[in-house]
Structure 1
Amino acid sequence: MTTLHFAESLRELVGGVDVVLSDIWGVVHNGLESFPEACEALHTYRSRGGTVILITNAPRPADSVQRQLRKLGVADETYDAIVSSGDLTRLYVAEHPGRKMFWLGPERDNSIYRGLDAKTAPLEEADYIVCTGLYDDETETAEDYRGMMLKARERKLTLVCANPDIVVERGDRLIYCAGAIAELYRELGGEVIFYGKPHRPIYERAMALAGERQGHPIDRKKVLAIGDSVRTDLTGAREFGIDCLFVTRGIHAEEFEGLDQLDPASVMELFGHPPKALMRELKW
């Protein structure tokens, strides 16, 4: 294994790349503001014939994600399409009509069942759980839900996780996500279905959309994933068989502070399987 250096620009890495599958939170914005250079990089890549599919673990439908992006100043021209874990979760709900759902998450995520014939119920009466996040991610952690998860396990309820992320950035802080509760439930012996990265369905959907826009099936050797999470972005890309550009400004920022390159031992410690390249922040 060789030393891993930081790349200066996206254009160094996209020769022969037809499709970019980019993470959103941590790459395009931090929850409070967008990153103009990242948006410019994706837009420039598109202007040169590439296809950009945003893949996100947001527990909301793609149209809801698009509205958030617009509010943060991310132009529609930055990307071709959005695939969200929320959309995949909605498919699960739609495929289980008549079953009662206990929804665990903040009110802002109610679009997860908007337009669906979804019956909600208290935990004691539900047939399954859909978790989009914590009720109050500003103050709570997964441990606040241990008692609830123990009750769910006693009832042998399946928990559908609409956001496998453990944490994401919000400004300069890290906040807990649905994945933290889902992992706790799994540790307690509960059954969990994950939608979103690093799991295969979100990549398959993104590749299908890219193929529609390119007009032909996509060769995975001509795809580059971009993300800031070892657990979701890097692992997901590796297991799907595509290269990954790892952006270090996101949730792992402290681990890369002051580094200009990584020796083989550090690469193994941080990544296990290394990404194609590192970049501090996405730019053209």
Structure 2
Amino acid sequence: MNVKRAEQLDGIAALAERYEVFLLDQFGVLHDGQTPYPGAVAALSTLKRAGKTVVLISNSGKRAGPNEDRLLKLGFAAGSWDHFVSSGEVAWRRFHEMAATGALRPGTKCLLISRDGDRSAIKGLPFALTEAGEDAELVLISASEGDRHDLDHYRRLLAPAAVRQVPCYCTNPDKVMLTAVGPRFGAGEIADLYESLGGGVTRIGKPFPAIFDAALALAGEPERASVVCVGDSVEHDIAGGNGVGIATALVSGGILADTADLAAVFDGHKVWPDYITGSFSFR
């Protein structure tokens, strides 16, 4: 689609008139990691009261439960969404199936790249944690601490595993994350680094189809024409929605808030949204 045809909206009320199923990103759409965006709490509740099916779909390396708990703590109303699908949840279920079929050996040494020491991504899985790339038999990149470390920190940690071709999974393909000190490199950038060091990476999350397939299955396999994906990342939300044949709406107030030329971003990725709105608010 030509970018000139992207419809400019002032909020999401017009989308509610046209679509029945909403696949919503969280970071950059509902909140910035610390605080809900103005109008977002009310907009989410309004969608549910209007009878819409709401599936939150996130490139979070954490499982669904911890993500939902955070939304409640931020002030979002319980019951204002139907399902939560995170890339961490999709990955956890994949690893669980691998363990059940014997494809994942019990005690596999896992080098986990996470945030704040979080281990929820592997809870209940037969991994043995290691902090050394030299010992790792599997690398799992679930989050970034790009606001605390530079890429050289991760280069030193991961290089010994990459040169040995240790399998790596990235459960948060976002290359930019919002932090209290501004945008910083995300887990997706760490995955790119791993590849540059000679390793291979399996990415789980947006824009790849598996997470969208999981979300649509939970929504009851609706007609694609009745579904809209709302996100703030051209590379992940808009590209992913385009890839599975659903409408897309870009919220320009997230990671692209300081971008003067959105058209250049769309052209650069060869991806264009159907709609553009400044915020996720119901007006």
What TM-score do you get using the length of structure 2 for normalisation?
0.88
Structure-2 change in CA distance of 1:190 and 1:74 (3 Å): same
Q: Which amino acid aligns with 2:241?
A: A
The answer to whether the 8 A contact 2:162-2:195 is kept is no
Amino acid across the alignment from 1:38: A
Q: 1:3, CA displacement in angstroms?
A: 5.3
Mapping 1:53-72, distance limit 5 Å: 53-72=55-74
Residue 35 (structure 2) aligns with: 33
Distance 1:162 1:39 in 2: 26
Partner of 1:40: helix, strand, or coil? helix
- What is the deviation of 1:172? 5.9
- The 5-angstrom pairing of residues 81-120 of structure 1 reads 81-94=83-96, 95=98, 96-98=104-106, 99-120=108-129
Offset, 1:38: 1.9
- Tell me the amino acid that sits aligned with residue 248 of structure 2: C
Q: Is the 8 A contact 2:141 2:171 kept in 1?
A: yes
| TM-fit CA distance, 1:36 | 4.5
Write the distance in 2 (CA, Å) between the matches of 1:60 and 1:103: 12
Q: Is this contact kept in 1: 2:250–2:273, CA < 8 A?
A: yes
- State, as a whole percentage, how many aligned pairs show the same letter: 31
Structure-2 residue corresponding to 1:75: 77
Counterpart residue number, 1:133: 143
- How many angstroms does 1:218 deviate by? 0.9
TM-aligned CA deviation for residue 23 of structure 1: 0.1
Give the number of equivalent residue pairs. Answer: 272
- SS of the residue corresponding to residue 90 of structure 2 reads helix
Runs of at least 5 residues in structure 1 that lack an aligned partner in the other structure: 212-216
Aligned CA distance change for structure 1 residues 33 and 161 (closer, same or farther; 3 Å): same
Partner of 2:274: 276
- Structure 2: 5+ residue runs without aligned partners? 99-103
CA RMSD after TM alignment: 2.0
Alignment-derived partner of residue 44 in structure 1: 46
1:223 aligns with 2:227: yes
In structure 1, how many angstroms separate the alpha carbons of the residues matched to 2:105 and 2:89?
A: 16
Deviation for aligned residue 1:39: 2.4
Equivalent in the alignment of 1:242: 246
Taking the aligned partners of 2:123 and 2:116, their CA distance within structure 1 comes to 12
Counterparts of 1:17 and 1:145, CA distance in 2: 42
Aligned to 2:171: 162
How far 1:204 sits from its partner (Å)?
Answer: 0.7
Deviation at 1:267, TM superposition (A): 7.2
The counterpart of 1:21, out of the listed 16, 20, 23, is 23
Instruction: Give the corresponding residue for 1:251.
Output: 255
Q: Is the Cα–Cα contact under 8 Å of residues 40 and 78 in structure 1 kept in the other structure?
A: no
Residue in structure 2 matched with residue 202 of structure 1 by the alignment: 211
1:268–1:199 CA distance, 2 compared to 1 (3 A): closer
Equivalent in the alignment of 1:192: 201
Which digits, 9 at most, give the CA deviation of each residue in 1:164-201, with x for residues without a partner?
A: 11112124611222111101112333110111111111
Contact 1:109 1:132 (C-alpha < 8 Å) held by counterparts: no
Secondary structure of 1:13's partner? helix
Deviates more, 1:23-32 or 1:93-102: 93-102
C-alpha distance in 2, partners of 1:112/1:268?
A: 33
Q: Distance in 1 between matches of 2:255 and 2:266?
A: 18
Task: Provide closer, same or farther for how the CA distance between residues 12 and 6 of structure 1 changes in structure 2, counting only shifts above 3 A.
Answer: same
- Do the aligned residues in 2 keep the contact of 1:224 with 1:244 (CA within 8 Å)? yes
Q: What is the alpha-carbon distance in structure 2 between the residues aligned to residue 267 and residue 174 of structure 1?
A: 17
Farther-moved stretch of structure 1 (147-156 vs 50-59) = 147-156
Task: Supply the AA of the counterpart residue of 1:7.
Answer: L
Alpha-carbon distance in structure 1 between the residues aligned to 2:176 and 2:158: 19
- 3-state SS of 1:9 partner: coil
